[in-house]
Structure 1
Amino acid sequence: MPRVSFAPPSLSLTFLPLLHRLLPSLPSLPPTVRDVDVPPLFRERFILSGYRPVGLPWRCYVLSLFQIHNETLNVWSHLLAAVCVALRFMMFTVLQGGGILGFRLQGPEGQGFSVDVSSLPLVLYVLSAVTYLICSGVTHLLQSHSELSHYSLFLLDYVGVAVYQYGCALALSLYSSDTAWTQSMLGQVFLPAAALLAWFSCTTCCYAKLRFRRPYPLRRKLCQVVPMGVAYLLDISPVAHRLTTASWTSSAALPLHFLQVVLFLLSAFFFSCPVPERFSPGRYDIVGHGHQLFHVLLFLCTLAQQEALFQDFLWRRPALVGEFGEERLLLACASFFCLALCCAMTALVMRRRARAQLMKEQI
């Protein structure tokens, strides 16, 4: 008697025809290969196919934006997210009548630019979000070029994540906190601690990328997840305080903040655990593996957080300068660029170590 299988169809088989119509493979590009055809550095656990060959001209990897491979959704999810974040901010600015971009040209009686200090942290938050999304998309698009490119681009990705961490911390501490949290001991040391943890998480991620080789030990994941997790717990503390002490009906931002927390925790789970591909290797190579789910959830998480910050910005903006003072706000915004510079310098140092390490291995 013939056996009948009721197994659900593979996600790859379900969505692949749609992807082929939306992103037709370019005839000038070489076909994708299996995991055994690329060096171990470029392989992902339980992903057996869809890899782009290593060592092609840069043009091929740029054009692979329109090719179907196991990084396609990783690239498109964050590049589209960057566009959505920027367009939504522009729409918010227009709806509010302009003048919240952090600077504006004065009228005929004035000269030069007048700085709207109260909106600068929001501008820096949006800049940090767009930065991390673009860095992530570019990294996944181009990292297959060579081993040095792989290391260099992922170091850039970690810089983008650290910049976003501090951009969130800056905006949440100024727009999403209440008076009780601001006047607490944690509120007083929050920004220096957030900057230190953002730099530390960037450094540990860079170190783990260079230090450990496949098959990766558990220590590598701990080096990445633990510092970022501690930084997130600190960064979200202004929101956590409001969620636990205020009525959620008092502000439209609080349900959005809660949604952001839920989406972030889900994304952290898929970042840490290679599921569902662990249970069916090769089935989710093109669509549906854990890192893709992480990217999509992080995209949604960023959009929810941005909407919540827009609400908090309208709530706190009128009294922000009076509460914190212009000098303190400007100093806080200047610290954003100091943090970005420190992380960039750290990544450059690590890149030199990666180059030296690769040259030593080739001898």
Structure 2
Amino acid sequence: MLPAPTMLTVKLPQLLNIHQVPQVFREDGIISGYRHPKSSALDCILSSFRMTNETLNIWTHFLPTWYFLWRFLVLSSSLDFHMDPYNWPLLLYLLAICLYPFTSSCAHTFSTMSPRALHLCYFLDYGALSLYSLGCAFTYSAYIMPDHWVNSPLHLHFTQLATLNSFICTALSCYSRFLELDAPKLSKVLRTAAFVHPFVFDNIPLLYRLLFCWGEGCAWNAAIPLHFYHLVFAFLTGFLFASHLPERLAPGRFDYVGHSHQLFHVCAVVGTHFQLEAILADMTSRKPWLTSHSLPATLFGTLGIMIAAVVGNLGIIGLFTRILIWSPRFTSILQNNVTKVKE
């Protein structure tokens, strides 16, 4: 009689509660569902297919990555991204909105390999968000500027200033991680400010159009309602990120579904969707006027600046990674002062 076939089974590490993981892994209002703080890469990947307190964080950015990639491919079939300089700012924006949710999804997936991996994952996440803010600046400079701001000093130097903002954003948000244990409130304030600052700068032309510009030259068109929708979801994104609601009101109740980081991801993606639609509406309706009144985009002024921003942001991330690993002053954030966990 032949032996019964054996089935391949994978045993994942047990899920832990807040008192069983290092302090650096803990989240406000999240009591249970933590993955093991020394998970293998395979454990991290497999954990995305079981319910933990990170599962929906992973999928709420992984799935939208494919949606934005699909939009990119569809637009590539109808727009000339190779020879038409008018489309180059949109191309950089589309690359950025594919990058930031994918990087975030990877960060949430692999952040529990070790405390060092946690910080490095989020350093990269912050860098991708900084590049997204720069991608927004390219399109806002090219398609969103009020008519009488076109070719002004602000317009001519908008993307260079946005590049500087991206460096500030990455540096400040990475630095904030070093303060999480000793000054958690200051850490949160700095990280929030790091992302609010480039958002406000990028939206100066749009906010002027919406709040202070009336009549001729203000480009009131079909894009305006879409811009409003984007701003509403952007506000919700920032509110959820800063407030930790609803889990702060009922710790433990929203550990797996419904906590602020999941809702923050959803609002960010929906807001980006409306932002893309608004940019496309402005880009299409204003093209005749913009191409006749503004300077055409250059390869150096688009791709060249983006490459410089990528190199600069990677340099900042590398610097903070080196400090994290080698500086005795910051070794405390890598320590595991916790209840003994079974390996």
Q: Is residue 242 of structure 2 the alignment partner of residue 275 of structure 1?
A: no
Could you tell me which residue of structure 1 aligns to residue 261 of structure 2?
Answer: 291
Distance in 2 (alpha carbons) for counterparts of 1:327 and 1:235: 18
- Aligned with 1:162: secondary structure? helix
The more displaced of 155-164 and 241-250 is 241-250
CA distance in 2, matches of 1:35, 1:93: 46
Contact (CA 8 Å) 2:233, 2:271: kept in 1 or not?
Answer: yes
RMSD of aligned C-alpha atoms?
Answer: 2.3
Shift of 1:357: 4.1
| 2:125 paired residue number | 157
Pick aligned residue for 1:30 from 7, 10, 13:
13
The residue type paired with residue 145 of structure 1 is: M
The Cα shift of 1:44 comes to: 0.6
1:60 aligns with 2:27: no
Residues 1:70 and 2:53 are matched in the alignment: yes
Q: Which moved more, 1:260-269 or 1:170-179?
A: 170-179
TM-score by length of 1: 0.82
Kindly indicate whether residue 165 of structure 2 is the aligned counterpart of residue 182 of structure 1: no
Kept in 1, the 8 Å contact 2:111–2:118? The answer is: yes
Number of the residue aligned with 1:86 = 69
Q: 1:158 to 1:350 in 2, by over 3 A?
A: same
One-letter amino acid matched to 2:311 = L
Matched, 1:243 2:210: yes
* Distance verdict in 2 for CA 1:118–1:226, change over 3 Å: same
1:46 aligns with 2:29: yes
2:197 is aligned with 1:230: yes
1:3 corresponding residue in structure 2: none
Q: Once the 2 structures are TM-superposed, how far is the Cα of residue 55 of structure 1 from its aligned partner?
A: 1.4
Q: What is the deviation of 1:215?
A: 6.1
Q: What's 1:302 paired with?
A: 272
Q: Does the CA-based 8 Å contact 2:85-2:297 persist in structure 1?
A: no
- Who is 2:85 aligned against? 117
Q: Residue by residue, what CA displacement relative to the aligned partner does 1:210-237 show, whole Å, maximum 9, x if unpaired?
A: x213264322122112232221111011
Which deviations, in whole Å up to 9, do the C-alpha atoms of 1:293-351 show, x marking residues without a partner? 11110010111101111112212444555444446464233212211210111001111
The CA distance in 2 between the partners of 1:117 and 1:183, in whole Å, is 17
User: Aligned partners of 2:155 and 2:285: how far apart in 1?
Assistant: 19
**Percent same amino acid at aligned positions?**
29
5+ long unaligned stretches in structure 1: 1-25, 104-114
Answer whether contact 1:33 1:53 (CA < 8 A) is retained. yes
Report the number of matched residues.
Answer: 322
State the SS of the aligned residue for 1:187.
helix
Q: Does 1:356 align with 2:323?
A: no
Please give the alpha-carbon distance, in whole angstroms, between the structure 2 residues aligned to 1:215 and 1:300: 35
How far apart, CA to CA, are the structure 2 residues paired with 1:258 and 1:183?
Answer: 25
The amino acid across from 2:323 in the alignment is R
CA separation of 1:154 and 1:131: change in aligned 2, threshold 3 A: same
Contact in 2 for aligned 1:158/1:202 (Cα 8 Å): yes
Q: Which amino acid aligns with 2:122?
A: F
Contact 2:58 2:108 in 1 (8 A): yes
Partners of 1:116 and 1:183 lie apart in 2 by 20
Q: What SS does structure 1 have at the residue aligned with 2:27?
A: coil
Conserved 8 A contact 2:88-2:297? no
Q: 2:315 aligns with which of 325, 330, 345?
A: 345
For residues 22 and 182 of structure 2, the distance between their equivalents in structure 1, rounded to whole angstroms, comes to 13
TM-score (norm 2): 0.87
Distance 2:168 2:220 in 1: 36
Task: Using the TM superposition, give the Cα deviation of residue 65 of structure 1 relative to its aligned residue in structure 2, in angstroms.
Answer: 1.7
Deviation at 1:46, TM superposition (A): 1.3
- Structure 2: any 5+ residue segments left out of the alignment? 1-8, 336-343
Which one of the candidate residues 171, 185, 196 is aligned to 2:164? 196
Q: Which segment is superposed worse, 200-209 or 243-252?
A: 243-252
- Tell me, what secondary structure is at the counterpart of 2:198? helix
CA contact under 8 A between 2:88 and 2:302: conserved in structure 1? Answer: no
Task: Work out whether 1:128 is the aligned partner of 2:101.
Answer: no
Question: Do 1:259 and 1:301's aligned partners in 2 also have CA atoms closer than 8 Å?
Answer: yes
Which letter maps to 1:224? R
Q: Give the equivalent residue in structure 2 for 1:106.
A: none
Letter of the 1:243 partner, please give it. L
